[in-house]
Structure 1
Amino acid sequence: MTPAAPADLDELSKLMAMAFQSDPPMQAAMGTTDPAVMVERGPWLFRGLLNGGAIQAGTVDTIREGQQIIGAAAWYAPGHHGPTIPGLVTHARDFHRALGTGGMVRALKIEAEMAKYRPTTPHWYLHAIGVHPDARGQGVGAVLLDHRLNQADRAGQPAYLESSTARSGNLYRRHGFQPMRRIQLNERAAPYSMWRPAAQ
């Protein structure tokens, strides 16, 4: 397990775009369900998101196979609830390349809706976790979760995330997350907010 560095940004962005090409909330933000478009434009979106937040904070965990990143998890530490507006504005060019002008407005509305459900109690927030398609089913996601959640448990800190698929929801339940509410973004995208209490 190694923290991502700014030099990893391009590889990380491509990995996340592949991992999220069929994710309903991400498709809602991108305004398309076409996997090819998601893979083509998605890296620009993740480049802006990661560079505007977690990668600068040093809370993007990676698993590598040789020199290749096969899994990554972007977290925000307690007290930080996601990318900041100044951070996002700084990388507006990346977002525009991914979304276009109208899409940027749509994505900001989706982000604002999801932010309404995030608890105000200080917590670790899992912003995104992705595994390379060739490495799925090998426990990479579980290792990524265990790494940061063990740290949270030692510090007595809770954690929060949004789960957009049944498969990811099952993984998160196995790691102690409990469903809270459904966030209805559109007819296809309705992720669950999930909370993991602090260890006693």
Structure 2
Amino acid sequence: MVTLRRATAADVPVLRTVCALAYRDNPLMRWVLPDVATRTDACAAWLGPALERYVAHARADVAVAGGAVVAVAAWRPPGADLTGGEVPVLPSPAGVLRALVGADRAAEVLTALARSAPLAPATPGAYLNYLAVHPDHQGRGVGAALLDHGLATLRAPGTGTPWLATTDPRNLPFYARRGCTTAGTVELAPGGPTMTVLHAV
């Protein structure tokens, strides 16, 4: 049986691990972190600071099975400040990326990712940055339960349209079944992954 709850700070180490294992073969991660031998750890290092900020300053829901956290959905509601306030907490996600791949490569990656911003809804609602399910629990409806839970909570009149982006084409039918429509695509690099932006209308 799977139960859903809000994430806490104590969950962050597990969230890093779940995301790293779920995303290690994602097209974006293969492009940003091409070294297979170090990608899983590098992915956990890069995403860890962002997950901490989502838990503390935005919204992160987790799925629990057998007493263990097996999936996470991290949402950024409109107006959420993920910088850490007046005294930002280190490391920053961008800072970790620079440490992993170098300043020039990090700037290239972040600039490419930012090109999806014009595809946001006219009135953007909550943005789903991470939806990750541990590989051992994929294909069991866990991700769907988390997504449906988040949309039921965040998709309300007057709150804007929830949205998300993915570089894995295998995810598109999953999101389409949950009422998400494609707003457009962005090629992150020549020969690199294509990011598809979806609106949860």
Identify the TM-score tier after normalising by the shorter chain: 0.7 to 0.9
Identify, as 1 or 2, the structure richer in strand: 2
User: Deviation at 1:109?
Assistant: 1.7
Distance 1:85 1:180 in 2: 31
Identity among equivalent pairs (%): 26
Matches within 5 A, 1:27-46: 27-30=30-33, 32=34, 34-46=35-47
Q: For residue 44 of structure 1, what is the amino acid of its counterpart?
A: A
**124, 127, 131: which one aligns with 1:125:** 127
Residue in structure 2 matched with residue 54 of structure 1 by the alignment: 54
User: Deviation at 1:85?
Assistant: 8.9
Q: For residue 153 of structure 2, what is the amino acid of its counterpart?
A: Q
Gaps of 5+ in 2: none
Distance 2:96 2:11 in 1: 16
Preserved contact between residue 79 and residue 122 of structure 1 (Cα < 8 Å): no
Preserved contact between residue 124 and residue 163 of structure 2 (Cα < 8 Å): no
Residue in structure 2 matched with residue 4 of structure 1 by the alignment: 7
Stretch of structure 1 that moved more, 172-181 or 161-170: 161-170
Residue in structure 1 matched with residue 63 of structure 2 by the alignment: 63
User: Deviation at 1:91?
Assistant: 1.9
Preserved contact between residue 48 and residue 88 of structure 1 (Cα < 8 Å): no
User: Deviation at 1:12?
Assistant: 0.6
Preserved contact between residue 48 and residue 95 of structure 1 (Cα < 8 Å): no
Preserved contact between residue 119 and residue 183 of structure 2 (Cα < 8 Å): no
Q: For residue 171 of structure 1, what is the amino acid of its counterpart?
A: F
SS of residue in 2 equivalent to 1:183: strand
Relative to structure 1, is the Cα distance of residues 18 and 98 closer, same or farther in structure 2, using a 3 angstrom cutoff?
A: farther
Spell out, residue by residue over 1:136-161, the C-alpha distance to the aligned partner (whole angstroms, 9 max, x if none). Answer: 11001100101011113445542101
Preserved contact between residue 29 and residue 106 of structure 1 (Cα < 8 Å): no
SS of residue in 2 equivalent to 1:64: strand
Gaps of 5+ in 1: none
Relative to structure 1, is the Cα distance of residues 88 and 12 closer, same or farther in structure 2, using a 3 angstrom cutoff?
A: farther
Preserved contact between residue 71 and residue 141 of structure 1 (Cα < 8 Å): yes
User: Deviation at 1:94?
Assistant: 3.8
Relative to structure 1, is the Cα distance of residues 103 and 172 closer, same or farther in structure 2, using a 3 angstrom cutoff?
A: same
Spell out, residue by residue over 1:14-64, the C-alpha distance to the aligned partner (whole angstroms, 9 max, x if none). Answer: 11011111111233333x1x443220211111112222x311125111001
